[in-house]
Amino acid sequence: MRLLLHFARTYPARSLLTLLALLLAGLLDGLGLSSLLTMLVSMSGDADGAGLPLPARQVRQFLAGLGISPQLGPLLALMVLAMAGKAALRLAANAQVGYTVARVATDIRLGLLRAVLGSRWEYYLRTPIGRLSNAISGESNRAAGAYFDAAQMMAVLVQGLVYAVLALLVSWQATLAALLLGGLLMSGMGGLVRRARQAGTRQSQLTARLVTYLTDVLQSVKPLKAMGREDLADGILARQTRQIDKALRKQVIAKETLPAVQEPLLAALAAGGLYLAMAHLGLSLASVMVVIFLLARLLGYFTKVQREYQRMVSAEGGFWMLHDAIVDAQAAAEPPTGSAVPSLTRSVELRDVRFAYGEQPVLDGINLVIPAGHFTTLIGPSGAGKTTLVDVVIGLLQPQSGQVLIDGRPLPELDRQTWRRMIGYVPQDTLLLHDSVLVNVTLGDPALGRDDAERALRQAGAWDFVATLEQGLDTPVGERGGKLSGGQRQRIAIARALVHQPALLILDEPTSALDAAAEVAVRDTLRDLKGRYTLLAITHRPALLDVSDHVFHIVKGTLHRASEPVS
């Protein structure tokens, strides 16, 4: 019931409206049923109603108080009106459930997405992308399905309670006996429900693992195929798929075993209730007829409640996995920052900055001044701390000691989001969307138009080749930009970084994957940008060193000037 309580607290208004509609529908169902019983018994010859069970007598008295004769016509009309009212209320309840199911899926997706986007950079380093993709795309639907199953269970439970009240009014002894035996039956079937819950949770875990691995494989499919090693990935994926199939089989077996076992046991319970009513309780024929009908319906609702509960617990594994992922991401949220508006007219400065991943030091007392309007380059071997230094400047990582100053103001005092929007970033791995050149440059920002994209492409030295493409700015670039050359992809990435006219342009190994001609072209582009932007580059290639104003060498987390300013 933990899931039901969680949904009730999260969506109190909709849950209350749904419950109220279900209760009213149940009452109307009871009224219609009592009318039907009154009509059947009256038709059997009991004109004065002495042999009617209590619910039917109360309906008869209610009609008499309204001046309505308990004859076939009025009883049929009351029954039809009650059934119509029940149908309308059930429709209203189901509409609320449908709206909430869609809301649950949306809220979970957005909640996870916002929590992830607001988390520290360290969270991204330790969390597989495939796990997040699976959670947002697949598990969110299962989580919403858990709410639907919970609502269906509540609907069946309310109907069952109405029938239980009517049955108690007819014969509390037979009803209590049936309820007790039904409760024991549900308890005995609890093992199947637990197996379904375990199988559902296992299925969620295995699916997340499969999608995570599949994402990694698809990102690396080219080298795998080039080396003829795709069979290795196929073997692992096949093994994980078989594990999911095994968990699904367990879930199906538990699900189908439950009704198969319930039906004969419930038939035995119904027969026992009938025997008790006729042989030992001395009920009238009319009451016996009512008891048989009510107990059969009541015990049927027992089975439906347990089946819906089993469906809910089978799906709730996905919900709690998503819930835990959101909590995990929220726990890794970036710390709050100040509200001062940053500017970059003088410099970015690092003072005695130290940073470590756990016990492993990466930056050891870095002191660096990056003058505004100049081109500063960092060189050094892999693992020396170049990228970590850049991440500290951006504010993705917070140093354990020391300060980052923007025009003399500590970075934590500044509005972090405003500072980052002043940065253009070109990563080492050029990641392009499977979309048009325009979307890849503007990232769909509605504030940026075609003129902005063209300006940025011209600054990046990319407009000449974009203008010759078949559809120009609207030309699709293919998966990860596969329809373009390496140099073309890199120039579009530079245009993307320039389109919002940043104050600081950061380039992480911008020429490492390019041939000599493309490297020279990118170098010339960056030289043209010098003076218009503050540039900070990471490289180990000599081409950029020739056009840099300041070059620094990082060795084992310490910084050394590698050259004097270029004249």
Residue whose tokens read 């209350």: 16
Please write the tens of the pLDDT for every residue from 504-537.
998 888 776 666 777 777 778 888 888 788 999 8
Q: Which helix (H) or strand (E) holds 257?
A: helix 230-279
- Tell me what pLDDT residue 565 has: 43
More confident residue, 563 or 23: 23
* Mean pLDDT confidence for 331-343: 88
Q: Say if residue 56's pLDDT is above 70.
A: no
Higher-confidence residue of 536 and 275: namely 536
Q: Is residue 55 pLDDT above 60, yes or no?
A: no
The helix/strand/coil state of 369 is strand
What residues contact residue 566 under an 8 Å CB cut-off, 6+ apart? 546, 547, 548, 549
Asked whether residue 404 carries a pLDDT value surpassing 90, the answer given is yes
**Interval 346-370: pLDDT, tens:** 999 999 999 988 788 888 888 999 9
Write down the pLDDT at residue 225: 56
Q: Kindly report which listed range (7-21, 28-42, 161-175) carries the lowest average pLDDT score.
A: 28-42
Lowest average pLDDT, out of 24-33, 182-191, 321-330, 550-559, goes to 182-191
DSSP string, 130-171: HHHHHIIIIIHHHHHHHHHHHHHHHHHHHHHHHHHHHHHHH-
Q: SS3 string of 401-416?
A: EEEEEECCEEHHHECH
- Which of 56-65, 147-156, 269-278, 500-509 has the largest mean confidence? 500-509
What average pLDDT does this structure show over 487-495?
86
User: CA–CA separation, 90 vs 101, rounded Å?
Assistant: 16
Q: What tens digit of pLDDT does each residue of 447-480 get?
A: 888 999 999 898 888 888 888 888 888 888 887 7
What are the residues facing 330 on neighbouring strands?
Answer: none
Is pLDDT above 70 for 58?
A: no
User: pLDDT category, 341, cuts 50, 70, 90?
Assistant: very high
> Per residue in 276-311, pLDDT tens?
656 665 555 555 666 666 666 776 777 777 777 777
Q: What gap in Å lies between CA 236 and CA 229, rounded to an integer?
A: 12
| Mean pLDDT of all residues in 397-402 | 90
Maximum average pLDDT range among 27-31, 114-118, 231-235, 310-314: 114-118
Per-residue model confidence (pLDDT) at position 196? 67
Whether pLDDT at 59 is above 60: no
- Report the candidate in 444, 426, 431, 440 with the shortest Cα–Cα distance to residue 476: 440
Q: Where in the chain is the domain with CATH 3.40.50.300?
A: 347-563
Higher pLDDT, 286 or 132: 132
Residue 146's pLDDT is 77
- Per-residue pLDDT averaged across 411-428, rounded? 89
88-92, 260-264, 341-345 — which one is most confidently predicted on average? 341-345
2-331 in CATH: which number? 1.20.1560.10
Handedness of CA 184, 166, 1, 305 (dihedral sign): positive
Q: How far apart are CA 194 and CA 255, in angstroms?
A: 11
Look at residue 354 in the predicted model and tell me its pLDDT. Answer: 92
More confident residue, 242 or 400: 400
pLDDT at residue number 414: 92
318-331 mean pLDDT: 82
At 72-122, the pLDDT tens digits run 666 677 677 777 877 787 777 777 777 777 777 788 888 888 888 888 888
Give pLDDT tens digits for 165-219: 777 766 666 667 767 766 776 676 666 666 766 666 676 667 767 666 666 666 6
Cα 437 to Cα 253: distance, rounded to the nearest angstrom? 51
For 432-452, write each residue's pLDDT tens digit. Answer: 888 888 988 888 888 888 999
Confidence of residue 567 (pLDDT cuts 50, 70, 90): very low
- Separation in Å, CA 407 to CA 371, 397, 411: 10, 19, 10
Give residue 84's pLDDT: 80
| pLDDT for position 371 | 92
Can you say whether the dihedral through the CA atoms of 454, 455, 456, 458 is positive or negative? positive
Other Cβ atoms closer than 10 A to 66: 9
347-563: what CATH class? alpha beta
Using CA atoms, how far apart are residues 325 and 22, in angstroms rounded to an integer? Answer: 33
| Comma-separated ranges of CATH 1.20.1560.10 domains in the chain | 2-331
Average pLDDT, the chain: 76
d(CA 506, CA 392) in angstroms, rounded, equals 12
Residue 376 β-bridge partners: 536, 550
